[in-house]
Amino acid sequence: MLGFLTVQIHSEAMKNWQEEFNLINLTKLSHSDIDIFEAISRGDFTKLTHEVVIDADKYRNLPPWDKAAARALAVGMTVDKAVVAGQAAARLWGYQTLGVEKTVLCLLPGRSRAGSIKQQPLGTRYRNSYLSPRDIREVHGIRVTGAFRTFLDIALDDGVVAAVVTIDSARRLNPSLTREKLMHSAESFPRHRGVKAYRQAIELSIPNSDSAQETRARLILREANLSEIQSVQVQARFDQSHNKHFLVDFLINEWIIVEIDGRSKYNSPELNEVLMAERDREKFFLNQGYAVLRIDPKQLDIDQNGECEFIGILKNTLQKTPPEHLKQAA
């Protein structure tokens, strides 16, 4: 049943990354491909692994997260038996991750063990761990771990917060992926390292987080446990005239709006339209008397004194008195 559930989750989820990146597997070239070999010698291509290259200009212009996807795909095209796992697998499935991994985690099927580091492909990191055949998917010619195993490995390697980010993203993309189904999946890994962290991540996950940074901010809020906070609504909806509505990342105590600025809001060819729409949103909320906190992801980081700027800003705002018409709700 679990294996069937995983297949259903991913049946149409993975995009064909090869169509987007046009990677070239050098082992597939013949002597007649002289133009490509000459281009490689001129430096027109960037090596992602010893066997796979990408157009250098194309790679240079990719955002960091797409560069990571290209590297993960290249490793998947290079390895003979290994399976792409962890955050790299999540990225290929289209799930968000907490950070951009520098190496691609690989697992070997069954109880096989990896050889020496010298034998491992460029840009990979192998971990010896039992990998059941039911947790392996082959899509577009590469092998990746299924959803549940991917979440487990992220929880083990990258921690609970990273796992929550990816699980939140998966639940938003797959509404049928409930907390109950996820908890049921954890039962299939009774003796695996990381299963405790996996269960913790499931408990903390929600189905409607809009971004990785929003998830991160939500967990920071929870950890801060501020006594002044009476309520937190995630993706709170505000109806406007003409069948329009706004969604905000957080509505705290019914009068403090928190918006986490992320790449998704600015990774758009219509940047001016995005900025104008955001100004209209903010004007609408300010005119209604709401406090609007725009938080940059860097303000979620912990500084050298162990303080989080986001929490500091929020504490200061909580000391203020809400407008009279919002005070009753607060």
Q: 115 and 23, same structural domain? A: yes
Walk across the sheet containing 104-107 and list its strands: 124-126, 104-107, 83-84, 142-145, 136-139
Last residue of a domain, one of 172, 187, 204: 204
Distance between CA 228 and CA 239 in Å, rounded? 27
Q: Sheet with 52-55: list strands edge to edge.
A: 24-25, 52-55, 45-47
Structural domain of 259: 212-327
Domain closes at, from 185, 204, 223:
204
Collapse the DSSP code of 155 into the 3-class scheme (helix H, G, I; strand E, B; otherwise coil) and give the result.
helix
Q: Which of 62, 65, 30, 28 is nearest to 46 (CA)?
A: 62
Total length of the chain? 330
**How confident is the model at residue 140, as a pLDDT?**
92
- Residue-by-residue DSSP string for 267-284: -STTHHHHHHHHHHHHHH
Residues 184 and 220 in one domain: no
Half-sphere exposure in the Cβ direction for 201 (13 Å, CA): 32
Distance, CA of 192 to CA of 165 (rounded, Å): 21
Domain boundary at 204, 224, 255, which?
204
Q: Is 257 helix (H, G, I), strand (E, B) or coil?
A: strand
The domain total for the chain is 2
Residues 135 and 230 in one domain: no
Give residue 4's pLDDT: 42
E-assigned strands of 66-186? 83-84, 104-107, 124-126, 136-139, 142-145
Q: What angle do CA 87, 185, 189 make, to 5 degrees?
A: 80
State the CATH number of the domain containing residue 314. Answer: 3.40.960.10
**What's the rounded Cα separation, in Å, for the pair 15 and 243?**
33
Q: Are 14 and 60 found together in one domain? A: yes
Residues 244 and 159 in one domain: no
| pLDDT value, residue 327 | 67
Please list the pLDDT of the chain residue by residue as tens digits (330 residues). Answer: 444 444 445 444 689 999 999 999 999 999 888 999 899 999 999 999 999 999 999 999 999 999 999 999 999 999 999 999 999 999 999 999 999 999 999 999 999 988 777 777 778 999 999 999 999 999 999 999 999 999 999 999 999 999 999 999 999 999 999 999 999 999 999 889 999 999 999 999 999 999 999 999 999 999 999 999 999 999 999 887 777 888 999 999 999 999 998 544 444 455 566 666 677 778 888 888 999 999 999 999 999 999 999 999 999 999 998 887 776 555
Overall pTM > 0.75? yes
Residue 146 sits in the same domain as residue 272 = no
